[in-house]
Amino acid sequence: PILVTFGDKADCETFVAAVEDQLEQQLCALPTEEVARVAVRENGQVFFCATEDEAVQVTDLFAPEHLEVLVKEGSNRVADKLQHYGGLFIGELCAEVLGDYAAGPNHTLPTGGTARSVGGLSVFTFLRVRTWMQSRPEMRAGDGHMVSDAAALADLEGLKAHAASARLRLPQSNGHAFSPEARA
């Protein structure tokens, strides 16, 4: 577990002490105390942040699998600022366990900070996205802006065959794909 807190340092220290006391009580009551205690000791961290925005930034860097937002005021405001998490639980009555087993969309969420780039398992995981393109006469109309833009970008990337393929589709190509500057 990671605790990110912000505001007055003395208030934060008092809050963290209360959380640590509660954590100790709950660890002692667990039948898996030994394993849980090792997990907390090796993975638990506390971050004291000066501002709400700094706390959001620190949290987004971790991109946690589960993220509970518990603040005195403005839980939704804080939640709206967060970008990287697997599952978000807002308010004191909402908890990870509810998302995992009762109210949440799933129990398979990104771990190890991977929530910065992927979401949790969902129906979209099993869908295959396919893209397609169809040519139309208007693509060649006028000076063929889209085609000439594609050729220019391909040239910039050094992909001369791609550029030549685009140029063949220009109205003025007459079957000539390579220009003298394309060969340079």
So what's the pLDDT on residue 142?
58
Phi, psi of 15 (to 5 degrees): -65, -45
| Helix boundaries (H) for 7-144 | 9-29, 33-43, 52-62, 75-81, 96-101
Report residues of the chain scoring pLDDT below 50. Answer: 182
Token output for 152: 């220019």
Strand partners for 5: 48
Output phi, psi for 5, to 5 deg: -130, 155
Active site residues: 65-66
The span from the CA of 59 to the CA of 88, in Å, is 12
Say how far apart CA 136 and CA 114 lie, in whole Å: 41
State the burial class of residue 32 (Cβ atoms within 10 Å of its Cβ: 0-12, 13-18, 19+): exposed
CB proximity list for 29: less than 8 A, separation 6 or greater: none
| Residues 30-67 pLDDT 10s | 999 999 999 999 999 999 999 999 999 999 999 999 99
